[in-house]
Structure 1
Amino acid sequence: ITHDLGVVDEAADDDGVMYAGELVEQAPVHTFFARPLHPYAHGLMSCAPTVDNRSQFRLTTISGSVPAPSRLPKGCTFRPRCPRAFERCGQVPPMLETETDHFVRCWLYI
């Protein structure tokens, strides 16, 4: 378990992205880095330092805070922080295979 995407890229074959204790995306590493799907995965990718953004004084952050385990929101747990949330996100999304071995738990892909 890590937030260091460089370690994931170098040491793993498959990537599982978790948010608030729930698996929200799973894919082979090369697929995940080429096509992250879940809005939280997009947020993680934009927060990671790269050769292009190392000169920036501040990195991008994901707005809001991770909910306490005892106060998880109904539906998608990322909904309160998600820039793409819509009404259906108030329901729990199923895990969906969007392409071979690439799974995402998000209403945007259903």
Structure 2
Amino acid sequence: APTPAPAPVTAPVVASAPSSVTHDAQWYRQRAGSEYVVQLLGTRSEAAARSFIGKHAGVSDLGYFETTHQGAAWFVVTQGIYPSRQAAQAGIAELPAVLRDSKPWPRSIGDIQGGLR
């Protein structure tokens, strides 16, 4: 039998979309579980998550999703999409200092998908 063709490798999205475009829960659902994002913020307030994104509109690939933390709604803001934890760590180094100072960390898409509301 012929060997199946390898899956196409998708190139990273170049900043053609305005940076104000944010990812939503559907975007996280469609990603591969093995990929990573950088978690920047967790908050009980959706308005605070949106405000945070607005304040950092110059940063590419921001998004947020709703999950549950300690039994209540929790909104998490993330940046980027990376093929590995190491790549996400490297991405943190490229963030503006004000975001690096908040101690962001890599988070797997698989982990996020398990908690999406």
Give the number of the structure with larger relative contact order, counting CA–CA contacts within 8 Å between residues 6 or more apart: 2
Same fold, judged at TM 0.5 (above): no
Q: Which TM-score applies when normalising by structure 2?
A: 0.23
The structure number with the bigger radius of gyration is 2
Q: Which TM-score applies when normalising by structure 1?
A: 0.24
